Amino acid sequence: MDASKRQRYDKISEELTKLVGGRENIQGVAHCATRLRIVLKDNDLADLKAMEDVDLAKGVFVAGDQVQIIFGAGLVNDVYEVFAENNNMKNMSLSDLKTEANKKMNPLQRIIKALSDVFVDIMPGILAAALLTGLSGVLGNMEFVKGNDTLYGINTLINIASGAIFGFLPLAVAYSACKRFGGRPILGIVIGCIMLSNSLADAYAAAQGAVEVTTLHIFGLGVELVGFQGGIIVALLMGFVTAKLDQFFEKKVPEVIRLLLSPLLTTLVGALLLFTVIGPVGRGLSSGITNALVWMTQNLGVVGYSVFSGLQQLVVITGLHHILGAIEAQLLADTGRNFLNPLMSVAIIAQGGAVLGYLFLHKKNAKVRELCIPSFVSVLFGITEPALFGINIRYRFPIIGGCIGGALGGIVVYLTNLAAVGFGTTVVPGIALADPAGNGYINYIIAHGVAITGGFVMTLVLGKFMDKPQEKVSGATDSGVNRQEIGEEPAESGMQMEVPERETFYGYEEGRLIAMEDVKDETFANKVLGDGIAVIPSEGKVYAPTDGTVLSVFDTRHAVCFQSSCGTEILIHIGVDTVNLKGKYFTAHVKDGDIVKKGQLMIEFDREQIEKAGYDTVIPMIFTDLQEGRVLEKEEPGSVKPDVRAVVVYNAR
């Protein structure tokens, strides 16, 4: 991570820590594909409204146990790293976080979260199988592939690979579920192997009456020796049971024989439960779910399809959508076709259409563009959280427009009999999963075109009646920082701050003034963060260069964000890469929101110790957000003191 990004993420971390109620209110932190997830001792101490204006944040909400801040795919990883490190939670295990989080969840939330965790672990394999299935379907319909021995052979191997992954999916599910619920993963694999054993009749062949099924009698119960191919729900249940059995026997069996006896008993009891209780119950549950979905398509027709695709994204808000992965897998295993995937896909792209509609309505608003464009890109890859929580739900009417667009797309899915041959991916990459039968790829594009257009148009229509003007908050800047929230007094209530013709910034540290280009760091020298000056210090004190307000003192105390009384923002950064010292050798004499006078001491640091630690102690002062037309007049390099003019900011003529 380069220095400029690190500084930006440090500032985000500082602000978030403050807004969640301080470090002492944080119990744990983790992240998923798009969200920073923070478990707090008391959610009421968090200022959710202010969090929405944190730099790079696209939305904030509370999901049962966690405050979740949406940053988007990729970005959230970097923000998490910095936030966790700055709050000393870098080494906190995910199980610890889950333990704290589960205390606040109701039973239904715990079940949904557990299902999500199970499928997250094995999703790469599922995606590989689904994409290989789609690729095999495409190649298999091409005549030149059929007529070429090499291409035909490659396609056959692709088909074998995809079939093998799906064929052993129950084993993968049992492994992941056992691991998730606290058992030893290898025992989940053992149970999965038993479920798919060659000693059992193949489940598909048995269902067609193509093989003879042996029946055993155990405790008066008739036990049919049929395998569990496609038994996703059975595998989920067995993963859970195996984990609990493992935990039980690990506690009860004496240590001297535990290594031999505990896994033996877990496997034996698990196998008995599989064939006598869990298997029959799981098969019945699977059959019921599949039959209900098939009934919906046969009896509710276009209404059932449109209602599902229209409301599916509302299910995402609750988190219940994670259970659909298990249902899709079971549907594929039982029928060979997954009609839920294209329905969910059109529901997703319709919300993207709503985002574009909102963007069109506010195309002149830079903040809206900053939110909408990356959110829409995420939608193209099946991730709607930034769009939902950053825009559509936040402004209300876009979510309605998106739901209507999703319903329209669902109608097309029904009329074209569109389905998928896999699951796990949607929208742009999801086209590879479309069943090619009956012009499936063309129908996939048409359905998505209708959905995104419907979401876009309906958002425009609803916006005419429901949209509210986006008023700029008094005292707020384009970067989203509300100065009144961090303690700065507004110049006048509801009035813009008057910008003076000239503004003088004085020395902020005794030492030798140098040009920014001479700083031995590419980020500063290339003015990535902005133009300014730098001082090679002769002591260890940083002073306020003019009257103003402390916007933020970094937790590591190596940098200060400052705003002059006339509204000009600067960053004073002590040293290069000194964030790695994590506050050692630095002492802050001001805090966020403090109003200070020119020459007031803000930070003290031990220059000699920092240099001994191998760090450059040069101190850049960067003008991070100069208004258009403002120009820096910098003093010539040489000695500087706190009462000597260093920079003049003036309006260009």
Q: Which are the catalytic amino acids?
A: 32, 573
Tokens of 211: 């093989």
Distance, CA of 500 to CA of 649 (rounded, Å) = 9
3-class SS of residue 389: helix
Could you tell me the sign of the dihedral formed by the alpha carbons of 372, 377, 378, 381, in that order? Answer: positive
**Other residues' Cβ atoms within 10 Å of the Cβ of residue 633:** 11
Contact 418, 440 (CB under 8 A): yes
Distance, CA of 151 to CA of 171 (rounded, Å) = 31
Roughly how many angstroms between the first and final C-alpha of the chain, as a whole number?
A: 39
Contact 498, 627 (CB under 8 A): no
DSSP 439-466: THHHHHHHHHHHHHHHHHHHHHHHHHHH
569 forms beta bridges with 563
Crossing angle (nearest 10°) for helices 324-335 and 107-140: 40
DSSP 118-185: HHHHHHHHHHHHHHHHHHHHHHHT-HHHHT-HHHHHHHHHHHHHHHHHHHTHHHHHHHHHHHHTTS-H
Contact 408, 451 (CB under 8 A): yes
CA 2 to chain centre: 22
Contact 545, 513 (CB under 8 A): no
596 forms beta bridges with 548
Query: For the chain, what is the radius of gyration of the CA atoms?
Result: 30
- The helix (H) or strand (E) run that includes residue 602 is strand 601-605
Torsion of CA 329, 334, 335, 339, to 10 degrees: -30
Distance, CA of 111 to CA of 320 (rounded, Å) = 9
Distance, CA of 191 to CA of 378 (rounded, Å) = 38
Tokens of 370: 């900053």
- 226: which DSSP letter? B
Look up tokens 């995420």; give the residue: 378
Tokens of 356: 């574009």
Using CA atoms, how far residue 123 sits from 5, 45, 128, 132, 328, in Å, is 30, 36, 8, 14, 13
Closest by CA to 71, choosing from 54, 90, 89, is 54
Q: Rounded to the nearest 5 degrees, what angle is found at the Cα of 526, between the Cα atoms of 523 and 529?
A: 60
